[in-house]
């Protein structure tokens, strides 16, 4: 198994810790299960959600470019 490192804002990390504690599992297990669930969803759902977000923020992205 390969390990990865990601940057997460402190407040979101605290939320992850809290959610894992409430669920009675480790933070790693919570993240692993969430990623597995996300990967198992049909790609179409992800693409539709991504397109919706990109369209909603189109003007912001243009200004930031």
Give one DSSP letter per residue of the chain, joined into a string.
---------HHHHHHHHHHHHHHTS-HHHHHHHHHHHHHHS-HHHHHHHHHHHHHHTHHHHHHH-
26 — phi, psi (to 5°)?
-75, 160
Q: What are 21-62's pLDDT values in tens digits?
A: 999 999 999 999 988 887 887 677 778 888 888 888 888 778
First to last CA, the chain: 37
Q: What is the pLDDT of residue 35?
A: 87
Give the pTM: 0.58
Domain coordinates in residue numbering, the chain: 10-64
> Among residues of the chain, what percentage have pLDDT more than 70?
98
């Amino acid at each position: 198994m390969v390990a990865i490192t990601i940057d997460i804002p402190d407040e979101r990390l605290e939320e992850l810790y809290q959610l894992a504690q409430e669920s009675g599992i480790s933070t790693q297990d919570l993240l692993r299960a969430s990623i597995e669930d996300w990967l198992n969803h049909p790609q179409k759902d992800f693409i539709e959600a991504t397109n919706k977000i990109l369209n909603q923020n189109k003007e912001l992205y243009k200004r930031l470019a």
